[in-house]
Amino acid sequence: MLKNKHRFLLGALSLFPVLANANELNQANTAWVLTSTALVLFMTLPGLSLFYSGLVRSKNVLSVLMQCFAITCLISIMWLAGMYSLIFSDGGELQAFIGGVSKVFVPDMGTDSLVGDIPETVFFMFQMTFAIITPALIVGGFAERMKFSSMLLFSGLWALIVYVPVCHWIWGGGWMAELGVMDFAGGIVIHVTAGVSALITAIVLGKRKGFPTVAMPPHNLPMVVTGAGMLWVGWFGFNGGSALTSDGAAGMAILVTHISASAGALTWMVIEWIRFGKPSVLGAVTGMVAGLGTITPASGFVGPFGGLVIGVVSGIVCFYAVQIIKRYFKIDDSLDVFPVHGVGGIVGSILTGVFAAKSWGGLGLEVSIAHQVGVQALAVFVVILWSAGFSYLILKLIDKMIGLRVTEDEEVEGLDIVLHEETGYHNL
């Protein structure tokens, strides 16, 4: 039996499972989740692909595009082969920790199979797109220096060992769901896991040659902005689709998502304007992504005011997190995955427990703000430890087996030529 992925507030403001039993198909909900599925995949291909590839140097542009593309293919097959089952099927006595194997290769899924009032085929695909983008986010932590074979092996093992259990705990009816953890669209499941793992990956692999003394600016800012715009639009499916309904819940999720993204971008711009004298294009789009990541766990629980505050906080906190990680600790998280996604996911998950309260314009809580914040903080803490610990072990295992990094000479030459025998720009 499939467990509920999300819970949102209805009626008397009590938590109610979205995936309740339904006897017939709801075509409006089905159409919206189908659309959202396309939007979320659009975030990875081409949104994240363009965003990340524009941020790296020209000699590595194809390697990043290839990594995002290959991860999409790998996780899609793994999802069919068992990931979906381990998250969303009944785990019996182990249900609190992991799902079962009854849905491996989904033998009983037909066109008339329903999850709630939408086809199981649609639910299967929608959840798959989340599983795809999560390891793809980690690419930004090790960009420009990891072997392609190592990247594939790491992504597959990480998805199975880190993503699957955490996703089950929160969205598959596991122990965190029973505890009352609120994560509407993936602040903990996606952004905390990916952000923390990207940080560990950056530390284990070490710095790129020349970091931090050699400037490594984005090679194509128009590509970055184009990808960022696609992420912004795609995020409406990411958060709005997570309601699994085409009603006011989805509308509110989209509204607060847009407000938070706008506030995050403006806040980052203002900080740069004050500190450096000029606002940068890169800063604006980075602030936007910070706003999107931070509102993600709260998007189905807070109102517009909460979305505004969370967006402003994301711009401030994530901006200074970038400075601390790169300038103080000198960790080469190439594309700022941890300070933007990881820190944003942590902050947003904690603030969900505050701004979901009716007193702050949210849809309401069954418990006190202090209790919910405590539950959120516990979930964040456990997931940080789980993600960091297993990411480290997986990386060390792969390093022993086949090695993680390309050689220094290969890094200088560029991964496009070294790993793929191609170049992104023939006139360079």
- Confidence check: pLDDT of 2 > 80: no
pLDDT of residue 327 exceeding 60: yes
Give the mean pLDDT of 244-250. 95
| Contact present, 318 and 263 (Cβ < 8 Å) | no
User: What average pLDDT does range 367-381 have in this prediction?
Assistant: 97
End-to-end CA distance of the chain: 56
- Per-residue pLDDT of 52-92, as tens digits, reads 999 999 999 999 999 999 999 999 999 999 999 999 999 99
Angle 347-348-354 (CA atoms, 0-180°, nearest 5)?
Answer: 100
Confidence of residue 426 (pLDDT cuts 50, 70, 90): confident
Q: Cβ distance 2 to 100 under 8 Å?
A: no
pLDDT, position 22: 54
Report the C-alpha gap between 246 and 244 in whole angstroms: 7
**pLDDT tens, position by position, 398-425:** 999 999 999 999 999 999 999 999 999 9
* Beta strand residue intervals within 198-255, DSSP E: none
Q: Which CATH number fits domain 33-420: 3.90.1530.10, 1.10.10.10, 1.20.1740.10, 1.10.3430.10?
A: 1.10.3430.10
CA–CA gap between residue 46 and residue 64 (Å, rounded): 12
Question: 398 is written with which tokens?
Answer: 């792969």
The answer on pLDDT for 11 being more than 80 is: no
Query: pLDDT band at residue 294, thresholds of 50, 70 and 90?
Result: very high
Mean pLDDT of the chain: 94
| Per-residue pLDDT, 203 | 98
Average pLDDT score over residue span 35-57:
97
**Structure tokens, 317:** 């906190």
Q: Is 3's pLDDT higher than 60? A: no
Where are the chain's structural domains?
33-420
What per-residue confidence (pLDDT) applies to 32?
98
% of the chain surpassing 90 pLDDT:
94
- Give 222-237 as a DSSP string: HHHHHHHHHHHHHHII
CA angle 261, 342, 259 (to 5 degrees): 10
pLDDT at 23: 66
- Write phi, then psi, for 332 (nearest 5 degrees): -90, 65
Provide DSSP, 314-328. HHHHHHHHHHIIIII
The pair of structure tokens assigned to 280 is: 């940068």
Q: What is the pLDDT at residue 249? A: 92
* pLDDT at site 400: 98
Rg (CA), the chain: 20
Least confident residue range of 18-27, 180-189, 284-293: 18-27
Angle at 229 between CA 234 and CA 163, to 5 degrees: 45
Question: What's the pLDDT band for 225 if we cut at 50, 70, 90?
Answer: very high
Any idea what the Cα angle at residue 319 is, between residues 154 and 146, rounded to 5°? 20
Cβ atoms of residues 284 and 271 within 8 Å: no
- Please check the confidence at residue 139 and state whether its pLDDT lies above 80: yes
Contacts 24+ apart (CB under 8 A), 408-416: 408/209, 411/144, 411/145, 411/208, 411/209, 412/209, 413/59, 414/57, 414/58, 414/59, 414/60, 414/63, 415/59, 415/60, 415/62, 415/63, 415/144, 415/145, 415/148, 416/59, 416/60, 416/61, 416/62, 416/63
Residue 15 has pLDDT above 60, yes or no: no
pLDDT, position 256 = 98
Q: Return the amino acid letter for 362.
A: G
pLDDT band with cut points at 50, 70 and 90 for residue 329: very high
Is the pLDDT at 16 greater than 70? The verdict is: no
**Model pLDDT, residue 200:** 98
